[in-house]
Amino acid sequence: MSHAMKRPLQILHAAGGIPQWQGDYFNEGAGRDGVFDKLKEECGVFGVFGHPEAASLTYYGLHALQHRGQESAGICTSDGKKFAYHRGMGLVKEVFDNDHLRSLAGTIAIGHVRYSTSGESKLANAQPLVFKYREGDLAIATNGNLVNAGKIRETLERQGSIFQTTSDTEVVAHLIARSQHNDIVEAVKEALRQVQGAFAFLVLTRNKLIAALDRHGLRPFSLGKLGDAYILASETCAFDTVGGTYVRDLSPGELLVIDENGLREDRFAEMEKRAICSMEYIYFARPDSDIDAINIHSARKRMGRLLAMESFVDADVVTGVPDSSTSAAIGFAEQTGIPYELGLIKNRYTGRTFIEPSQELREQGVKMKLSAVRKVVEGKRVVMIDDSIVRGTTSLRIVNLLREAGANEVHVRICSPPFLNPCFYGIDTPTRKELIASSKSVEEIRQAINADSLYFLSKQGLLDAIGRAHGEWNRGLCTACFDNDYPVPVGEEHASAGCGCD
């Protein structure tokens, strides 16, 4: 039996090693996103090396990434000798207070905000996951999903590994712990070479911070600086929040090691064809973020402009479904000369739903999150811009909301192609049979959502708007949800499923 096998991995569940709460926090269906059928956020990671207020910086960085996950949050710090960590269910501001942050001493930190899809929504799966193994303390946080995690997990369990979470991230931790390499960097490389999928990893030891991006660069991941300190984040908007500056994006297959000797650039795998998730540009990322030097707000405005060029309709007012479609609506309005107005207002204080309402109340629930401005849309021909149509139920409710407010016509324009296929790389999507575009024509969808007209941006229009040369290894996009062209092959266990982010 190997040395690694003799020293099993031990996961530490919460501050002090005592679980705060193991129960589910959200009610499926009613919880998370309430009645909306929009795509769910992924996860967000943030790391700091070499700053005296690492925990506070990470707290603010996670605030900036809150849109990527609202179910749990966590921070782990190191002072060079020992770890301090705290995780909890809920928003960043709900999980941490001043006492928590003061207890997180150290100049190195990693943090995580989570939306679960492949793992259950409970504290045991909240990240960063913190472990004890033969080489000392280890903490891991990741954004993404491993398509072969299930098979690896089965193999490890047959060989004696005991898992204490349902998270893909723990699979990587076990692979690291079982490595014959005593050097943590080499052990991480070995582990990452065995996994497939989309991931942006942060690995923390007592004196090192390791960052790695998957071979295709499916997830966004950027390096920044704040004075002499290094910072890493899922989106560049987090750098602006903490006063840092953007340095560059990580490249596919790259591994960075930051320690007392500075930053070392390395690789765990050769770069494969770049295929960053197109939905980051369409929906997920904040408008003030840049991905691969492309500003999200500008890309979405171009989507709106090209959508207008492809599908002009004579109307009186243009409005966007807040917030991800606002930029595209502005672009559509500028291109057509039709005035842009705030025809839909988002209620930012609805919070999350903890009760299971009746079906009747659920049908009315969209009004809790969105309100139509009657004086803007009444008696008008309205162009409603949205980023995507998933099941179609939300689109129907919003169209009806505008009609109830007096809109004479509602023309729906979607700034992405029809969503035909589930994602397996870290976006929570329904199964293929639940995606309305997979079984209905555009005309049938138009009828289903009660719109006067409906048009989806063409795939070429999307590629032109984002500004990446599709097909080139260093500037490509993953468009599998639109064209079934998956850059990383998925196993049979994913054939009809959605996906997961851990």
CA–CA separation, 316 vs 332, rounded Å?
13
Provide the token pair at 104. 């997180």
pLDDT tier at 39 (50, 70, 90 boundaries)?
low
Q: DSSP for 25-75, please give it.
A: -S-TTTSTTTT--PPBP-EEEEEEES-TTHHHHHHHHHHHTGGG--SEEEE
Structure token pair of residue 26: 């959200």
Highest average pLDDT, of 137-146, 334-343, 366-375, 479-488, comes from 334-343
Distance CA 216, CA 273 (A): 6
Query: Residue 215 — very low, low, confident or very high, per pLDDT cuts 50/70/90?
Result: very high
Considering the candidates 43, 415, 499, 501, report the single residue annotated as catalytic: 43
Distance CA 336, CA 263 (A): 49
Return the exposure string of 421-457: e unless at least 16 CB atoms fall within 10 Å of the residue's CB, then b.
bbbbbbbbbbebeebbbeebeeeebbebbbbbbbbbb
Q: Which of 118-127, 134-143, 253-262 has the highest mean pLDDT?
A: 253-262
Residue 36 has what pLDDT?
45
Predicted confidence band at 362 (pLDDT cuts at 50, 70, 90)?
A: low
Question: What is the SS3 assignment for 133?
Answer: strand
pLDDT at position 223: 98
pLDDT exceeds cutoff 70 at 493: no
pLDDT greater than 90 at residue 476: no
When pLDDT is averaged across residues 390-399 and rounded to a whole number, the result is 93
Q: Is 43 a catalytic residue?
A: yes
Average pLDDT over residues 225-238: 98
Mean pLDDT of 409-428: 89
Q: Is residue 8 scored above 60 in pLDDT?
A: no
pLDDT of 433 reads 83
Residue 495: predicted pLDDT:
41
Neighbours of 354 (CB within 10 A): 10
pLDDT of 253 > 50? The answer is: yes
3-state secondary structure (DSSP) of residue 95? helix
Q: Please, which residues have CB within 8 angstroms of residue 214's CB and are 6 or more apart in sequence?
A: 144, 197, 198, 199, 200, 252, 253
pLDDT value of position 173: 92
Distance of alpha carbon 498 from alpha carbon 122, whole angstroms: 20
pLDDT surpassing 90 at residue 62:
yes
For residue 389, pLDDT beyond 50? yes
The answer on pLDDT for 16 being more than 80 is: no
Helix axes 296-310, 459-466, angle to 10 degrees: 140
Least confident of 24-28, 185-189, 360-364, 453-457: 24-28
- The predicted pLDDT at position 37 comes to 58
Cα–Cα distance, 202 to 135 (Å, whole number): 17
Least confident of 250-254, 377-381, 387-391, 490-494: 490-494
Examine the pLDDT at 269 and tell me if it is beyond 90: yes
Residue 205 pLDDT class (50, 70, 90 cuts): very high
pLDDT averaged over every residue in the chain: 86
More reliable by pLDDT, 378 or 362: 378
Higher pLDDT, 442 or 470: 442
Q: What is the pLDDT of residue 364?
A: 58
| 3-class DSSP assignment, residue 495 | coil
Q: How confident is the model at residue 116 (pLDDT cuts 50, 70, 90)?
A: low
Integer Cα distance of 355 and 28 in angstroms: 10
**pLDDT average, residue stretch 368-384:** 94
What pLDDT sits at residue 41? 54
For the four alpha carbons of 445, 447, 450 and 455, in that order, the dihedral sign comes to positive
> Closest Cα to residue 222, out of 139, 282, 296?
296
Which of 198-207, 329-338, 451-460, 462-471 shows the lowest mean pLDDT across its residues? 462-471
Alpha carbons 148 and 448: distance in angstroms, whole number: 37
The CA-to-CA distance between both ends of the chain, in Å, stands at: 31
pLDDT of residue 497: 37
What was the pLDDT predicted at 367? 67
State residue 498's pLDDT score.
Answer: 36
Q: What is the pLDDT of residue 9?
A: 64
Contacts with 452 (C-beta within 8 Å, 6 or more apart), sequence order: 409, 410, 411
Estimate to the nearest angstrom the gap between the alpha carbon of 379 and the chain centroid: 39
- Tell whether the model's pLDDT for residue 421 goes beyond 80: yes
Check pLDDT > 90 for residue 230.
yes
Question: What pLDDT does residue 366 have?
Answer: 62
Does 26 have pLDDT greater than 60? no
Decide if pLDDT at 499 tops 50: no
The tokens for 186 are 């080499």
Rounded to an integer, what distance in angstroms lies between the CA atom of residue 119 and that of residue 462? 32
Q: Is the model's pLDDT at 268 over the cut of 70?
A: yes
Q: Does residue 31 register a pLDDT over 80? A: no
Does residue 130 contact residue 11 with C-beta atoms inside 8 Å?
Answer: yes
Pick 141 or 369 by higher pLDDT: 141
Provide long-range contacts, Cβ within 8 A and 24+ apart, for 263-266: 263/230, 266/185, 266/189
- pLDDT of 18 reads 29
Side chain identity at residue 408, one-letter code: N
243: left (phi over 0), alpha (psi -120 to 50) or beta: left
